[in-house]
Structure 1
Amino acid sequence: MRPHLPLNALRAFESSARHLSFTRAAHELNVTQAAVSQQVRMLEDRLGCVLFKRLPRGLGITDEGRALLPVLSDAFNRIETVLKQFEGGHFHEVLTIGVVGTFAIGWLMPRLKRFRQTHPFVELRLLTHNNMVDLAAEGLEFAVRFGDGTWPGTRSTFLLDAPLAVLCAPDIAERLATPADLVRETLLRSYRADEWLRWFAAAGLDPWPLSGPVFDSSRLMVEAAMQGAGIALAPPRMFARELQTGLLAQPFDIKVETGGYWLIWLKSRPLSPAMQLFRDWIAGEAAQEHARLSSDA
């Protein structure tokens, strides 16, 4: 059976191996250089192998030490991460969430303060994506995606519908009297090739060939539209602030449904307490907005 390996000896080796110096390791661990050297020597004796080559200037790590270092570094990093979650006398649970960029900026960010106020011990880590996400590979508890809610291996909660409408700079909107006037404009496109075709059908127009730039982000596409590069087809509710402040205009009331925003998570992953809190919170926020919009209609 492998002899018990003291934690201090493992920590002394890991620090010394990173710095290739007993002196710098001693400074990091707040002990003497002699103590670090003694702990490493004890570990070598227990393992029955040499971990360092003692050189005139510093240390050289052996093949055995090189094999041991990444395992210990990973273990100590994991321990440190978990211990940080207990700071302040409370357990802080971390949630990593991938959010499609348009939804993150246009809807989620203005509400995050309320989540923090009501759930101070849940730490959110937000990553943006362009609707292509792999929950397992990216280590995500949740993702917010745009579509119909059916993604393989996942469960989903519906958040918001997001019908698309024509959005453009105010000066361009002034020259658009009817939908047919769009034929003279540059139409910006997303990677979903059928969106303009569906809007044309809703507007009663015969389609024409499109040649405008293609974007992988609605947020980026609408930013280009605000700067006069062309006309975008995007969800107005994700750009409410820009519309209210006059940076953006919606010249026509015609909208087309192509999907909505959903919160998704892996079927194989049970919901932790923090995941349940976030799911209930974001679904509640979405329901409140739906109720407000319904009452205003």
Structure 2
Amino acid sequence: MTNLKLTRFAPTPSGFLHLGNVYSFIVTYHLSKKHQAKILLRIDDLDRERVKNRYIEDIFDTLNFLELPYDLGPKNLKDFKSSFSQSERMGQYAKALEILRQSKLLFACDCSRKKVEKMHPKGYYTGFCRNRKLPFDQNETSWRLKADMHQDISFKDLNEGHIVGKLPGILTDFIVRKKDGLPAYQLTSVVDDLYFGVDLVVRGKDLFGSTLAQVFLSEHLGPNAFAQNTFYHHYLLQDPNNQKLSKSAGATSIQFMRKSGKKKEDIYMMIGEWLGVKERIKSLEEFGRYV
């Protein structure tokens, strides 16, 4: 079995953690044990409109309540703000953006989301601004990376070995710097994983396209080992109606369940039931045989 060094649990504090987030941590925990990797808690907090301190605090409260352990990262809100916030790594993101800009791989785009949706029936970006040569410092412009759906991108999957895929249409010419001047998710995720030395990336199957985008992006950031990382895409936890869980669905948040009197064991049992496991699972360790 391959030994790996570091994986991460990387929630975005744009809502209270729900059962799906906990399941992702469960998978991450057991894979880290199998491959002798440590776990980093990496909180993505650059979405200024949606990130709230109470959601950051909820991450620590939930992990403590469910006794979900990690090895590296912040222990509380104060520790996070002082040492681990993504704002501490703005210089790293700026360097990455400058490498892409100097390589002539970026272009400025002033298209609104509504305009993009109107130009393609599925909301794919059509390359409208690729040749307009808009100034990079123009107000209300994002920076896009020249990337299309036709290039083969390969990576190593923990279960399936070598995988070759193409970018999904929704990620054509994806954004690396937003209109507010802040780096976008695909770029910060790559830079952060490189910064901390992550070599096992665990995420849901809904982010398979992001894996392809990030591997593609990393190959244009100068010498780095991101494309040699190992990836694992787990199934998404769904409710009894086969609906994907979201942070807007408050009834599946751990905070709501705690206020309703649910105990740690109740939450683990619910996750097990929704996974279709016949036995009653009451602890983190008991999930090991199902990961």
The TM tier, using the shorter chain, reads under 0.3
Answer 1 or 2: which has greater strand percent.
1
Larger of the two Rg values belongs to structure: 1
TM-score (norm 2): 0.22
TM-score (norm 1): 0.22
